[in-house]
Every structure is written in C-alpha cells, then in structure tokens.
Structure 1
Amino acid sequence: MKVLSMILAGFVVGYAVSDIRPFDSLLSSTAEFGSPTTIVNGLTVLALTACLVSVALARSSARGVLVVAIGAVLVVVFRTVGMVTGMFGDWAGAVGAGALLGASAVLAGRHRAAQASLAVAAIGAGLLGTALDALLQADDGPVFVWDVAGAEDAVVPERAIVMVIAALGTALSLYQAHRDVALQSHETRRTLLVGLPLPIAAGVVSWFAGGHDSGDAVWLGALAGMAVLAVVAAFALPGRDGRVLLVLFASATIGSMGFAVEDSLQLAVSVALLVVGAGIGYRWPQLYVGLGGLLVVAGASLIEGYVALPSLSQFALPFVVAYALVSVLSTAPGSLAVALPALFTMSLPVTVFAASYQAGLSLSSDNAVATRTSEPDHLVLSLAGLVVVAVVTVACAVLMRRPTQNPAAR
C-alpha cells in the first residue's frame, strides 16, 4: 500500500507537471517569452513549493503530513476540472502539485521502494502526460464523453476524468498506508540552501538560452552555467544525496527532445521501459552502469544524426533514466523533493526555428517569417550531452567518497 500510494501521488504530480508549460508566466497573462517575468513560471513555483513543504513538514506527525498531501491533491483536481480558473487557478495548480510532491517525499521517508515509485511515476507522467491526453482524444482510440462543470473553457474532459480517478485513489491509499506510520525527521538547513535558489537560477539561465538572438555560443554558455549550478547544488546537499540531482540533470540534458511517443503502442512501450528500468535498478543498483547507459544514449543520438537508423536512443532513454535514478536511491526526503523537479526546471530550450505567418502587402499572399529562439544543431546537442554526462560521472565519483549522511535531522 505504501508503494501504491507513492505511485498514485507521483502520477498526480507528474500529470500536473505535463499541464504546466515551462515558459508560461504566472505573473502576467500577457507576458512574452523575452520578458523577465517569464522566469517565474509554473515549474519554478512547483519546485519552490516542494522544497518549502518538505522542510515545513520535516518534523510533523504522519497525520499532519497526510492532511497537507490530501489537501494538495484536492487543489490540483479542482484546478484540473475547471473549478479554480484563470491566473489564480494556474498558481493553485503549481502550488498544489509542489505541495503534494513535498508531502509525498516526507511520507516516503527513506523507504527505497516508495521513493523509487514516487520518482518514476512523477517523471513518467510528467514526460508522457501530453501523449496520454492525445491518445485519449484520438479519433481511433477510446474517447470519453463527459461535460465538465466549470467556467474554464480550456478544461480537457479526458484529463479531468483521469485526474479525478487518480486523485481519489491517491487520497485513499495515502490515508491507508501512512495514518499510523511514525515519520523520521530529516535535515532541513541544506534543503533550503539548495532548493530555493536552484530553480530560480535555472530559470534565469534558461531565459538567456532561449533568447531570440541567442546562438551556439550563448546556448553552450548557458549549458555550462547550468552544469555548474547542478554540481554546486549537488555538493551542497548532505552526504551523497546530490547524486540524484546530478543524474536527473544529465537525463534532462540528453533527453531534451523527450521520449519517442507517437501512438498508443509507443506510449505503452515507453511506460513499460520505465517500469522495467526501475525494477532492474532496484534489484541491481549500479550507478556507473546507469551513467554509462546515459553516455551510450548520447552517443547513439550523435550517430543517428548521420546514419538512417530508427530513433533507438529515444526508446532506450526511459529505461536508462529509470535505471540510473533508482540506482542512486534512497536519499533524504528533502533532497528528493528538491531533485525531482530538476528534470523539468533544468532542461534548456532547443528549438531552432519557430515559423510564423504574417499578412503580406497584398491581400492574396502571406509571408512566412522564421523566428530564431536558440540555435544549437544536432551535432552540438549530442556532443554537449556527452560532455555533461562525463562531468556528472566525475562529480558522482567524488561524492561517492563522502560518508553516508546520518538520517537524523540537524
């Protein structure tokens, strides 16, 4: 039941993440991509909330943490079904998902299976949630007919149904699994030291990388800055906990284009590979094997740019990411709450051109205008991924020399 509760909680968090556009500002509905307010987006708010909630609940009772977790689930659902609308709804969704992540990390404690279930479910739903929505709305797939009560026109009935079912299961399983559990307190000082500035700094770096006039040099400089942030944050976390953050950062770098999902079969394969990778990582954890797998994926991506091969690296990516992540668990609950959003907040934009159409001088023609957002080509992306994984491997090797952290709170 403890593992099931974490799977469902992770799914709700990840599914909410998949509904938050990284560059949509929560400060202004008219904010544009080049605006500084774009830095304060839903993912940043989610990451900050997860950190604060995990610290605030570090010494709470299980029942108190359960109240926060179930309340956060309700907030996410109310926003999904259109009962909390507009800018307030956007903030509520981001804060609710972050609070659920932080509370779930505390409930998972240092239970390795529970942590792995929470992490894999959140990452899988976050990366595959949009594909699931497309599948549910496909003409040749299952279509749900349900009129959602609420004033929000953007409500997706299929997503609302899935979220309501998942939320109900989450609330019940969380209560059944953790109502009589004695929670173990964990360190909070370093969690705040890393968890608050990291997503904000990562947002600033992403903003520079995605500027309209940025080129290869600017993008590579932003990636180097992001790598420095990840390494510094990893060493600031207690003991060896920073390895989780490093693995997720490396995964975000080489997986910038996401998993290969175009139909129901590919979606099922990606989910299956996530589960199998996590299971093998739980049974036979080998950090360096996982990092080696990330290197292989980055190398395969490089070769695919010049040889007509199937997108093997994209299919292998969920398996390798899940294996590498589970191999470095368990960790302190606060460190887990800080590290998990990094897969989304520390991923740089890689769109080369965005084509837009503007009315021409004559009424009979339109002009296509290509706007540059960032300019790294396939070779640059692949080589950068290889370098990042190599740096992460060295940093993890240094962290392995540290003594394991005493779970007692400081």
Structure 2
Amino acid sequence: MKVLSMLLAGLTVGYAVSDIRPSYSLLSRTAEFGSFWAIVNGLTVVALVACAAAVALARASARAVTVVAIAAVLVVVFQTVGTVPGMVGDWAVAVGAGALLGSAAVLSGQHRAAQASLSVAVLGAGLLGGALDAVLQANDGPVFVWDVVGAEDDVRPQRAIAMVIIASVAAIALFLAHRNQVLQPHEPRKVLLVGLPLPIAAGVLSWIAAGHEPRSGEWLGAFAGMTVLALIAAFALPGRDGRVLLALFAGSAAALGSFGFAAGDSAQLAASVGLLIVGAGIGYRWPQLYVGLGGLFVVAVAQVLESQFDLPESAQFVLPLVTAYVLVSALSTAPGSLALSLPALFTMALPVTVFAASYVPSLSSDVAVAARTTEPDHLVLSVAGLVVVVVVTGACALLRRR
C-alpha cells in the first residue's frame, strides 16, 4: 500500500506538471518565454514548494504530513476541473503539486521501492501527460465535467476525469498507508540552501537561452552554466544524495538530440510507458548507476551519428528505459534531496528553438504566414549532451568517494 500510494501521488504530481508550461509566468500573463518575468512560472514554484515542504514537514508527525498530502491532492483536482480558474488557479496547482511532491517524498522515507514508484511516476506522467491527453480525445457526447463547470471554462474533460480518478484513489491510498507511519529523522535545513536558489538560477539561465539557437554562444554558455549549477548543487547536498540530481540532469542532456521520449501515437505512448516500467524494474533489481550512465553515453553517441549520417532516430525509443534505470539506480536518498531533485528534469532543461517563424505577407491576401527559416543544429545538441553525460559520470565517481 505504501508503494501504491507513492505511485498514485507521483502520477498526480506528474500529470499536473505536464499541464504547466515553462513560458507561463505566474506574475504576468502577457510575459513571453524570453521575458524575465517568465522565470517565475509554474515549474519553478513546484520546485520551490517541494523542497520547502519536504524540509518543513520532516519535523511534523506522519499524520500531519498525510493530511497535507491529501489536501494538496484536492487542490490540484479542484484546479483541474476548473473550480479555481485564472491566475489564482495557476498558482494553486503549482503550490499544490509542490506540496504533494514534498510531502510524498517525506512519506516515502528511505524506502527504496516507494521512492522508485514516486520518482518514475512523476517522470513518466510529467513527460507523457500531454500525449496521454491526445489519446483520451476519443469520446463524443456529454461529459460530466462540462455539466459541472460549464463549457465556457477552459477545461479539458478527459484530463479532468483522469485526474479525478487518479487523485481520488491516491487520497485513499495515502490515508491507508501512512496513518500509523513513524517518520525518519529530521531533514537538515541546509537542503534549503540548495533547493531554493536552484530552480531560480535555472530559470535565469533558461531566460538567457530563450530565443537563441543552440549553435549560438549564448545558448551554449547557458547550457554550460546549467551544468555547473547541477554540479554545485549535487556536491552541496549531504553524502551521495546529489547522484539523483545528476542522473536526472544527465538524462535531460542525453535527450537533447532526440527532443524527448517517443509518444507520437497510442502505440508509441504505450511503448514509452512500458519501457519506463521495465527500466525501473531492472534498476530496482540490479542497480548499477555507472551502467545506466554508460547507457546514456551510448544514446548520446548514437544521436551524434544519426545527426551526421541522416540515420533514422532510435534514441528516443531507448531513452525511457535507460532514464528510468539510471534514476532508480541512484536511489535511495534522503527525502529532502529527492523532493529537490525530481523537478530538475523539468526546471533544468533549456529551451530549444524548433524553428524561427518569420512573418511574410501572403501573395493572395493580406494575411501574414509563418515561414520556417531555421532548425536546431542536431549535431551541436547531440555533442553538448554527450559532453554533459561524460562530465556527470565523472562527478558521480567523485561523489562515490564520500
């Protein structure tokens, strides 16, 4: 039941995160991705609240932590079904998802299976939630969510139904599994010294990189800065806890050349989910962090070759398995470090310009059309990811000596 509760809590957090766009400022609705105000977005707030909640709640009783977790689940659900609209709702879902992540990390303790369930669920739902929405767009006819909030509200019925079901079962499982649990010793407050500046600094680097092509000096400089930031944070965490952060950052870097997991249709989505589960299972049974990092190295090398010789992309089909394996192999860790590290895959990924739209007048009318002018340099992205995987592997080797 403890593992199931963490799995469902992670799905709730991840599915909420998949609906949060890094360019949506929580301070100004008119802010664009390159705007300074876009630094304060939903993902940043999730990361900040998760870290603060994990450290604060570690000093509370298990019953109090469970109450916070269930309350956070309800906040996320209310926003999903349109009960809390507008910017207030955007803040509510970000704070709720962060509080749920922080409290779930505390409730997982150092139970490796619970941590693995929480981590892989957040990872999978966060990256594949948008694709799942597309699969759910199937039914015609009346849907109960429309009857509840009205069609004028910007609510996707399928997402709301899925979230209500997952969150309801999650709340029940959290109560049953943790009502009599005894928590682990307190989290050190110095985790806050890492977890609070980290997403803000990552947001600044993302802001610098926004609008620049990957081959530009600004983008590469921001990526180098993000790598340094990840290394500093990993070594500032106690003991070997920073390995989880480094593993997730390495997975994000290795995904640069392929633009993430394969989830273009139902079959690819099912395959990605299946590979995530298989990778997590293998990592739990035979955890070998350096084997996993070696797998990311192979993926990055394959992407370099694919970008050079116009080979069909295969890395995106392997990434779910390898990333889940690396993540689970890096566990177990302290709850505060886990809550700090899990949002890193979303907050520490630099934006990549897919194309620069230049508006030119149409010959047949006065309507402007967008013309595709540039594409990302896949070779630059792949080589940058390869270098980061090598650097992270060396950093993990140094952490091992602690």
So what's the TM-score if we normalise by structure 1?
0.93
Per the TM alignment, residue 303 of structure 1 is displaced from its structure 2 partner at its CA by 1.6
Map 1:344-355; keep pairs closer than 5 Å. Answer: 344-355=346-357
Aligned to 1:220: 220
Aligned to 1:161: 161
Aligned length: 397
Map 1:40-189; keep pairs closer than 5 Å. Answer: 40-138=40-138, 145-148=142-145, 149-150=148-149, 153-189=153-189
* Structure 1 residues 390 and 143: alpha-carbon distance in aligned structure 2, compared to 1, 3 A threshold: farther
Per-residue CA distance 1:311-349 (angstroms, 9 max, x = gap): 321010000000000001000000000000000000011
* Structure 1 residues 175 and 212: alpha-carbon distance in aligned structure 2, compared to 1, 3 A threshold: same
Per the TM alignment, residue 262 of structure 1 is displaced from its structure 2 partner at its CA by 1.1
Aligned to 1:263: 265
So what's the TM-score if we normalise by structure 2?
0.95
* Structure 1 residues 356 and 17: alpha-carbon distance in aligned structure 2, compared to 1, 3 A threshold: farther
Per the TM alignment, residue 33 of structure 1 is displaced from its structure 2 partner at its CA by 2.3
SS at match of 2:356: strand
The question of whether the paired residues in 2 share the 8 Å contact of 1:112 and 1:330 is answered with yes
CA distance in 2: counterparts of 1:367 and 1:9, whole angstroms: 44
SS at match of 2:357: strand
Q: Does 1:291 align with 2:293?
A: yes
CA distance in 2: counterparts of 1:241 and 1:2, whole angstroms: 22
CA distance in 2: counterparts of 1:110 and 1:214, whole angstroms: 39
Aligned to 1:274: 276
Per the TM alignment, residue 263 of structure 1 is displaced from its structure 2 partner at its CA by 1.0
Aligned to 2:2: 2
The question of whether the paired residues in 1 share the 8 Å contact of 2:214 and 2:353 is answered with no
CA distance in 1: counterparts of 2:140 and 2:275, whole angstroms: 26
Per-residue CA distance 1:240-273 (angstroms, 9 max, x = gap): 0000000101111122411011111111110010
CA distance in 2: counterparts of 1:278 and 1:144, whole angstroms: 38
Aligned to 1:338: 340
CA distance in 1: counterparts of 2:118 and 2:304, whole angstroms: 32
SS at match of 2:308: coil
SS at match of 1:51: helix
* Structure 1 residues 81 and 365: alpha-carbon distance in aligned structure 2, compared to 1, 3 A threshold: closer
Per the TM alignment, residue 114 of structure 1 is displaced from its structure 2 partner at its CA by 0.1
Aligned to 1:406: none
SS at match of 1:368: strand
Map 1:260-409; keep pairs closer than 5 Å. Answer: 260-355=262-357, 357=359, 363=365, 366-368=368-370, 376-402=376-402
Per-residue CA distance 1:50-101 (angstroms, 9 max, x = gap): 0110011012111100110000000000000000000000000100000000
The question of whether the paired residues in 2 share the 8 Å contact of 1:260 and 1:314 is answered with yes
Per-residue CA distance 1:208-256 (angstroms, 9 max, x = gap): 0113588521111111000000000000000000000001011111224
SS at match of 1:305: helix
CA distance in 2: counterparts of 1:363 and 1:275, whole angstroms: 52
The question of whether the paired residues in 1 share the 8 Å contact of 2:214 and 2:376 is answered with no
After alignment, is 31-40 or 279-288 more displaced? 31-40
Aligned to 2:251: 251
The question of whether the paired residues in 2 share the 8 Å contact of 1:18 and 1:126 is answered with yes
Per the TM alignment, residue 147 of structure 1 is displaced from its structure 2 partner at its CA by 3.8
After alignment, is 154-163 or 376-385 more displaced? 376-385
CA distance in 2: counterparts of 1:131 and 1:365, whole angstroms: 31
CA distance in 2: counterparts of 1:144 and 1:206, whole angstroms: 42
